[in-house]
Amino acid sequence: RGYAQSAQRELRCLAEVARSSGVVLDHVYAGKALYHFCEYAKANPDAFRNSHILFWHTGGLFGLYSQAERLQSLPKRVSTFAPTP
């Protein structure tokens, strides 16, 4: 996908992170970064075993306004941080 273009699975991840942690991520940078990191970590668990991971959230929340309609249509409960396709 291109700049500011989000797949439903990425938006589901953002919604679940917000619901479960209270941390709201934008769909352009931080949200995509966390989603793809989680996907990579799930596919390569040994790469991060016994590691401390810092995810630096730098903002970008205003970009979410353009996705409000899509985010509201997501299910109220999602089971994992980074859903697989």
Mean pLDDT of 43-70: 81
What is the rounded CA–CA span in Å between residue 83 and residue 6? 14
Give the tens place of pLDDT for each residue, 15-55: 889 888 888 888 888 888 999 999 999 999 999 999 999 98
Query: CB of 69 within 8 A of CB of 4?
Result: no
Tokens linked to 39: 């996907």
Mean pLDDT of the chain: 80
Position 68: which residue type? A
Q: Cα(70)–Cα(66) distance, rounded to whole angstroms?
A: 9
